[in-house]
């Protein structure tokens, strides 16, 4: 196994198949993303986030009655305990929202009667609680840090509209609601990405759902992962106008040569989610009378792609983070909530993966993830060091 070891070391496990999964498939060379058999384009066009959550957890699209029941189960779990709100009120106003979410999810376990009961049914219950409560938690913190009272969940609203309502206190118009819903559908799942692998890895030790998902949120917070959508928006704000794009690209190519939100480790075509998000930025620009962000983004993408090709780097297209930030920005979602919003969607995939890791017969994991490493700490040559007493150091 020596040769494969050498191939694997320091590659971040890229291309290494660590398990089987029935959850999703990213066909990178064809630019296809498939959730449990269904193409992302079909789901974005026809399904709500609730239907996608059902598909993730029960492996089929729900019938009308099934969806009604599922919706009711989610709605009755939306509220968070007053003691949870009290905990959020202790948090400094300049806390990073992803830290609040990571800590808050671990603390949500404290309000479940038996969070660590590792049955499939209980883990599903934990998972439903998280889908339902994470938006309430995040919206409540955003209001608290702004000196406002949290807004209770509204059972007349669907999942997407309810989050925007709890954030702003206003019921969003149906077109905004549907666009936000589509954003949630697009971000729901993406195979063994870093945060999902974190969730599975934690779950593989037989830790419970809250522990696994809290860890996944930590992983998503990194700028190389979910933190990218926030950074794309900051980049667009920094560029500020179409005229400044050439200069920006030139400077970036002189420094680290990276453009935020361009390129993907799996897709070798344009990210299929970016294709759906791009016209949404345009539409939001028209609605709000502010087409500038669409113009900057679309021009930046074209010029950056060309600049990469000039350097011999082909296939550096826009990814999902490139356009989602601008959509959220035009919806007036605070920039530092973009990555938490990503988490509010990806939770559906994470839960499916935790349950697959712990219970699925189709894709059983033999044991916890415990890789090896190559010890290169030759502090005293190949032999161990002799202990040196304090007085002789």
* Residue ranges in 35-54 that form contacts with a copy of itself under rule CB under 8 A: 36-39, 42-43, 45-47
Catalytic residue among 181, 264, 271, 353: 264
Under rule CB under 8 A, residue 225 binds a copy of itself: yes
- DSSP category for residue 1: -
Pick the closer one to a copy of itself by CB: 170 or 370: 370
Phi-psi region of 31 (alpha: psi -120 to 50; beta: other; left: phi over 0): left
Binding mask 328-367 for a copy of itself (x = CB under 8 A): ----------------------------------xxxxxx
Hey, what are 224's tokens?
């190389």
> Distance (Å, rounded) from C-alpha 341 to C-alpha 345?
7
Q: How far apart are CA 329 and CA 7, in angstroms?
A: 42
CA 72/CA 231 separation, integer angstroms:
36
Residues of span 143-172 touching a copy of itself by CB under 8 A: none
In the complex, minimum distance from the CB of residue 298 to a copy of itself, in angstroms, rounded to a whole number = 28
Q: Residue 383 has what DSSP assignment?
A: S
- Per CB under 8 A, 268 contacts a copy of itself: no
- Catalytic (active site) residue 321: yes
Least distance CB 241 / a copy of itself (angstroms): 29
257 burial (CB, 10 Å; 0-12 / 13-18 / 19+) is exposed
Of residues 60 through 79, those in contact with a copy of itself by CB under 8 A are 60-64, 67
Which residue lies nearer to a copy of itself by CB, 255 or 372?
372
Tell me which of 321, 353, 374, 391 is the catalytic residue.
321
Mask of contacts with a copy of itself, 81-100, x by CB under 8 A? --xx-xx--xxx--xx-xxx
Cα 385 to Cα 211, 374, 388, 389, 392: the distances in Å are 38, 18, 9, 12, 14
- Asked whether position 388 contacts a copy of itself by CB under 8 A, the answer is yes
Question: Which tokens go with 69?
Answer: 């029941």
Are residues 314 and 161 in contact, defined by beta-carbon separation less than 8 angstroms? Answer: no
Site for a copy of itself in 174-193 (CB under 8 A): 191-193
Q: Which secondary-structure segment (H or E) carries 38?
A: strand 38-39
Q: Which one, 98 or 179, has the nearer CB to a copy of itself?
A: 98
Q: Which CB sits closer to a copy of itself, 282 or 319?
A: 319
Measured from the CB of residue 86, what is the shortest distance to a copy of itself in angstroms? 4
CB 224, min distance to a copy of itself, A? 5
Q: Which is nearer to a copy of itself, 71 or 164 (CB)?
A: 71
173 belongs to the catalytic site = no
Do the beta carbons of residue 278 and residue 293 sit within 8 Å?
Answer: no
Cβ contact 345:236 at 8 Å: no
- Check if the beta carbon of residue 277 is closer than 8 Å to that of residue 183: yes
Q: What is the DSSP letter of 335?
A: G
**Looking at beta carbons only, is 222 or 334 nearer to a copy of itself?**
222
Is the Cβ of residue 155 or residue 364 nearer to a copy of itself in the bound state? 364
104-123 positions binding a copy of itself, by CB under 8 A: 104-107, 109-111, 115-116
Window contacting a copy of itself (CB under 8 A); options: 71-79, 147-155, 234-242, 369-377: 369-377
Tokens of 103: 């800590």
What H or E segment, with its residue span, contains residue 89? helix 82-89
Residue pointed to by tokens 């035009």: 330
Other CB atoms closer than 10 Å to residue 288's CB: what's the count?
Answer: 13
x-or-dash string of contact with a copy of itself, 190-219, rule CB under 8 A: -xxxxx-xx--xxxxxxxx-xxx-xxxxxx
CB of 29 to a copy of itself, least distance (A): 13
Report the catalytic residues.
264, 321
């Amino acid at each position: 196994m020596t040769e494969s070891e050498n191939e694997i070391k320091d590659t971040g496990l890229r291309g290494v198949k660590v398990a089987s999964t029935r959850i999703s498939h990213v066909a990178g060379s064809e630019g296809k993303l498939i959730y449990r058999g269904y193409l992302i384009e079909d789901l974005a066009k026809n399904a709500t986030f609730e239907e996608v959550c059902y598909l993730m957890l029960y492996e089929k699209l729900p019938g009308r009655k099934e969806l009604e029941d599922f919706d009711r189960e989610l709605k009755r779990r939306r509220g968070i305990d007053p003691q949870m709100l009290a905990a959020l009120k202790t948090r400094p106003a300049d806390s990073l929202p992803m830290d609040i979410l990571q800590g808050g999810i671990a603390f949500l376990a404290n309000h479940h009667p038996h969070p660590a009961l590792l049955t499939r049914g209980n883990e599903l219950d934990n998972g439903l609680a998280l889908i339902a409560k994470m938006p309430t938690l995040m919206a409540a913190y955003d209001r608290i840090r702004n000196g406002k009272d949290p807004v209770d969940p509204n059972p007349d609203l669907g999942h997407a509209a309810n989050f925007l309502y709890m954030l702003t206190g206003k019921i969003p118009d149906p077109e905004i609601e549907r666009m936000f819903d589509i954003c949630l559908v697009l971000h729901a799942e993406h195979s063994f990405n870093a945060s999902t692998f974190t969730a599975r890895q934690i779950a593989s030790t037989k830790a419970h759902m809250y522990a696994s998902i809290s860890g996944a949120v930590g992983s998503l917070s990194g700028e190389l992962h979910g933190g990218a959508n926030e950074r794309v928006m900051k980049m667009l704000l920094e560029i500020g106008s179409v005229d400044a794009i050439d200069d920006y690209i030139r400077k970036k190519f002189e420094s680290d040569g990276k453009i935020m939100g361009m390129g993907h480790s799996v897709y070798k075509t344009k990210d299929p989610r970016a294709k759906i998000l791009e016209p949404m930025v345009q539409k939001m620009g028209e609605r709000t009378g502010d087409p500038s962000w669409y113009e900057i983004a679309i021009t930046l993408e074209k010029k950056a792609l060309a600049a990469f090709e000039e350097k011999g780097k082909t296939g550096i297209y826009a990814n999902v983070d490139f356009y989602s930030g601008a959509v959220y920005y035009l919806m007036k979602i605070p920039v530092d909530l973009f990555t938490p919003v990503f988490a509010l969607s990806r939770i559906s995939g994470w839960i499916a993966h935790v349950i697959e890791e712990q219970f699925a017969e189709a894709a059983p994991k033999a044991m916890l993830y415990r890789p090896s490493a190559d010890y290169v700490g030759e502090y005293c040559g190949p032999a161990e060091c002799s202990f040196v007493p304090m007085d002789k150091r």
